[in-house]
Amino acid sequence: MQRAATIGEAGTIIIPTGEITLQRYKTENNEVIVEVTVNNTRQLFNDRDPTPFKERELDQNFVTFLLNSVQEFPYKAKTRLRIIINKEPDSAAEKVHIQEAIHSFFKYEAGLVHSRKKKSMREGRLFMVVGLFTLFSCLSFSQLLESSFSQSKIMLIIQEGLVIIGWVAMWRPLEMFLYDWWPLREQQLYMNKIANMEKDIIYSQ
């Protein structure tokens, strides 16, 4: 099923490891509804995480699906998460716990991505200094060779090689400043969006 054609349609995907039924996508009142159906709340969380309910790590399949789903639409598109729980009785307290757990998890992950972005920019500045120094040194040495030795073919090759080495040294810092931080910024924005978007917890029993 093409994802672009599923808005407002009832598509279903089964995640074998977590037995979570996922529908892509419905729309209500100009909001995209990302719907997840589970048998019990345990399927939303990592079973191996012993931390308290609110602070528990979410199931990786659930996290991946949410990120992929929300990223299919523009950042400013109104999106709502709807979790349907089939085989548990209604619990107002547990609804709040689930909402808080999802909010806390994605806020924490967004913070980690922000830290990675800052680290990448720091490394980019360091690499820029190294790259500029290497470029300056190679260009200067190339000019020194040009003024000090006769221009044989071998000497021309060495000079051109130094120029190439100097500019190649600038490739990585320029890539970091121009391109590498964009995916991290986008990931951080969408994680914050998931953390803050409306979350409906519905017990169908």
Residue 95 and residue 29 share a domain: yes
For the chain, give the longest Cα–Cα distance: 89
Contact 88, 40 (CB under 8 A): yes
Residue 97 and residue 66 share a domain: yes
Residue 122 and residue 89 share a domain: no
Residue 124 and residue 154 share a domain: yes
For residue 179, the model assigns a pLDDT of 92
Residue 98 and residue 17 share a domain: yes
For residue 93, the model assigns a pLDDT of 81
DSSP state of 2: -
Q: How many domains does the chain have?
A: 2
Max mean pLDDT among 5-19, 67-81, 146-160 falls in: 67-81
Q: And the tokens for 170?
A: 């600038």
pLDDT band at 55 (very low <50, low <70, confident <90, very high): low
Residue 87 and residue 171 share a domain: no
For residue 190, the model assigns a pLDDT of 96
User: Which is more confidently placed, 195 or 92?
Assistant: 195
Contact 27, 41 (CB under 8 A): no
pLDDT band at 51 (very low <50, low <70, confident <90, very high): low
Q: And the tokens for 34?
A: 């990302």
Average per-residue pLDDT for the chain: 83
Contact 102, 81 (CB under 8 A): yes
Residue 177 and residue 132 share a domain: yes
pTM (predicted TM-score): 0.75
pLDDT band at 49 (very low <50, low <70, confident <90, very high): low
Residue 99 and residue 179 share a domain: no
**What end-to-end distance do the CA atoms of the chain give, in Å?**
30
Q: And the tokens for 47?
A: 């079973």
Residue 104 and residue 21 share a domain: yes
Domain containing residue 156: 116-186
pLDDT band at 24 (very low <50, low <70, confident <90, very high): low
Residue 64 and residue 109 share a domain: yes
Q: Could you read off the pLDDT of 142-175 as tens digits, one per residue?
A: 999 888 877 788 888 999 999 999 999 999 999 9
Residue 108 and residue 123 share a domain: no
Q: Could you read off the pLDDT of 77-132 as tens digits, one per residue?
A: 999 999 999 877 777 888 888 999 999 999 999 999 999 999 999 999 999 999 99
Residue 127 and residue 80 share a domain: no
Q: Is the pLDDT of residue 14 over 60?
A: no
